[in-house]
Amino acid sequence: MNFLAALRKEWLEQWRTYRLLMLGVVLVVFGLLSPLFAKYTPEIIKLIPNGEAIAQLIPTPTVMDAVTQYIKNIGQFGVILALLLTMGVVAQEKDKGTAAMMLVKPLPRVTFLVAKFTALALMFAVTIAIAGAACYYYTWLLFGALDVPRWLALNGLMLLFVLVYVALTLFCSVVTKSQAAAGGLALCLLFILGLIGSIPGLGEYLPGQLIAWGGGLMAGKAEAFWPALWVSVGMIVVALMGASLIFERQEL
């Protein structure tokens, strides 16, 4: 069994278990809601008692408000969903014994893991693309057209950001024995990464900067943060390599 066959199996499984569909629906709904929320927040506030006065303090919503909402929503939920959808992929198969079944066939364990990661990456790429298109459409209706190349760049950066967490959670899923433990460990890593990111001067070399970079692009800034991109790619590669090395030595 080669890489493509393993990838095909993973992809079909994501399709059959409706993980792909659910992720798509959640992200698309956020894509649609973000510009709507940005546009109508002042109106909503007017509805609460004494809201009129507060609403006057809020500046008229702009395109950037819609973009900021989108980045915030997809960034947050992307990471949470990355954790939820990835934490079981290896741990659960080890638990149920299906991993052993798969690997009885001459399938190198590295291939097994890389196929899993690729399937997850494809799933997030497809769903973020649809969510991005949905948000673009509503933003265009409510505010006006966004710059397409920059919009694509922003979504690409967000995808990479989410994939860092997919890779880290996959690593956790290999190291631990159960789905819950993998999720907990991944959550710890997430917090540690957040803590390191809050140290002044260090944050701009971490994946979180990708989101800021994308937001800056949409605001018309040309500043690029290539180190953050390379660190992110590096983290994905290291997480996958580490996971493979540990997985090779595990008894199934």
Our CB check for another protein shows the closer of 137 and 230 to be 137
As a whole number of angstroms, the distance between CA 115 and CA 1 comes to 12
Q: Least separation, in Å, of the C-beta of 176 and another protein?
A: 26
Q: Which of 1, 13, 32, 88 binds another protein (CB under 8 A)?
A: 32
Our CB check for another protein shows the closer of 22 and 252 to be 22
User: How far does Cα 35 stand from its chain's mean position?
Assistant: 20
Our CB check for another protein shows the closer of 128 and 164 to be 128
Our CB check for another protein shows the closer of 21 and 241 to be 21
Stretch that binds another protein, among 20-28, 55-63, 185-193, 213-221 (CB under 8 A): 20-28
As a whole number of angstroms, the distance between CA 68 and CA 35 comes to 9
Our CB check for another protein shows the closer of 34 and 176 to be 34
* DSSP states along 104-126: HSS--HHHHHHHHHHHHHHHHHH
- Residues in contact with another protein, counted by CB under 8 A, come to a total of 11
Our CB check for another protein shows the closer of 33 and 181 to be 33
Of 143, 133, 134, which is closest to residue 39 (Cα–Cα)? Answer: 143
Q: Is 28 in the site for another protein (CB under 8 A)?
A: yes
State the CB neighbour count (10 A cutoff) for residue 78.
Answer: 26
Q: Least separation, in Å, of the C-beta of 235 and another protein?
A: 33
Q: Is 77 in the site for another protein (CB under 8 A)?
A: no
Phi-psi region of 50 (alpha: psi -120 to 50; beta: other; left: phi over 0): left
As a whole number of angstroms, the distance between CA 169 and CA 174 comes to 9
Q: Least separation, in Å, of the C-beta of 28 and another protein?
A: 7
Window 112-141: contact mask with another protein (x via CB under 8 A): ----------------------x--xx--x
Q: Which of 5, 21, 152, 238 binds another protein (CB under 8 A)?
A: 21
Residues 96, 22, 174, 2, Cα dihedral to 10°: 80
Our CB check for another protein shows the closer of 30 and 171 to be 30
CA 50, 52, 56, 59 torsion: positive or negative?
A: positive
Q: Least separation, in Å, of the C-beta of 223 and another protein?
A: 33
One-letter amino acid for residue 139 of the chain: T
Q: Least separation, in Å, of the C-beta of 31 and another protein?
A: 9
One-letter amino acid for residue 90 of the chain: V
Distances in Å between the Cα of 212 and the Cα atoms of 9, 44, 103, 144 are 36, 28, 41, 22
Q: Is 18 in the site for another protein (CB under 8 A)?
A: yes
By CB under 8 A, name the binding residues for another protein.
18, 21-22, 25, 28-29, 32, 134, 137-138, 141
